[in-house]
Amino acid sequence: MKRIINLLLLLFVSTSSFAQGHYNGSSFNPNDYFAPHAGFIIPVWYGYANMNYYNKQGNKSDQLINPTPNNPTTLNIEQNVKTHSFILMAIYGGKGKILNADWGMMIIPTLNSPTASIALDYYSQQTGAGRYNFTNKSLGFGDMYIQPIWLSWKDGKFKYALNYGVWAPTGKYEPNSLDNGGHGYWSHNIRGALQYKPQPKINLSIAPTFEINQWQKDTDFKEGSHLTVDLGGSYLLNSRGDEVGVFGHYTKQVSDDKGTEGSFLSDQTAGVGGFVSYWIVPKKIGAMARITQNFATESRFGGMAVQAGVNILIPSKSASH
């Protein structure tokens, strides 16, 4: 198992920082914004992504910064960014009600090599003109997502959810380091969600997420806030619970970067994808696969991502099936 990031820096004469925040749209399936049944769910995932950088015009580009009379900085890269990640999730569906809502909690530790944006952050901190090769095959812990507030209400054909989660900077981060595994800052995710069930086998959902980022460790940089709107639908194939679905998202930076080391390039991206799930052992062990393709990407990395994994369910004794 390898994860390789190869980038070639041709010319860079000042210091800037680039980031994209922590939350990526289409990270969850359409039904995953709502609290689960009582008990534990342990998903184990492998993810692969093939990324490219797109400039502010939305074109694939080897030039990250277009020089201007006021800012003569130029950063060029040779694009070849492939990432591999392992994600072990722990989900708990609580018993009873909180504020008359079903409730749960989620924690997502990650094991990966530096992501495309982390590699880009390394380049952005080089302080002199020159040629830098970045080839990283290391593997380490990334930043961790913790969702302590996960509330869902049901009213007829509708479901509503309110979630709060935080990305903790548990991955290694040091300025100018080749083997960073994290972004070096906290991110807060505030999410609402709505689901409509027009027929017993069909679910439709929409979920906006507002991400607020804090200052990056040991740098004078704060990534701007992002707003992501996820939407999608799923179709139940049979009484076993096997399912197929589609999803999409749109992400837009809605506030400016802060500090003296920011790139100050407002970014956006959109994506579409699909998933399929199959119960190997009904209601106990399931397999799932997903694919996402980004488009309309500006001032950030985007591309194709594929995930596959298994879900292990441990229902509470009093939970209904």
Please report, for the chain, the start and end positions of each structural domain, with discontinuous segments joined by +.
5-312
Identify residue 23 by its one-letter amino acid code: Y
Q: In 114-211, where does DSSP find H-type helix?
A: 116-124
Q: Which of 230, 274, 289 is nearest to 33 (CA)?
A: 230
Give the Cβ contact number of residue 129 at 10 Å: 12
d(CA 115, CA 93): 31
CATH 2.40.160.40 fits 5-312, yes or no: yes
pTM: 0.84
Q: Which of 85, 93, 81 is nearest to 39 (CA)?
A: 93
Per-residue tens of pLDDT for the chain, all 321 residues: 222 333 332 222 223 345 578 898 999 999 999 999 889 999 998 888 888 888 888 888 776 655 555 555 555 655 667 777 788 899 999 999 999 999 999 999 877 655 545 545 544 444 444 444 445 555 677 889 999 999 999 999 999 999 999 999 998 888 867 667 788 999 999 999 999 999 999 999 999 999 999 999 988 889 899 999 999 999 999 999 999 999 999 999 999 888 876 556 789 999 999 999 999 999 899 999 999 999 999 988 888 999 999 999 998 775 544
- With contact defined as beta carbons under 8 Å apart, do 201 and 236 qualify? yes
Sign of the four-CA dihedral 208, 301, 288, 311: negative
d(CA 84, CA 60): 22
Two tokens, residue 184:
């070096």
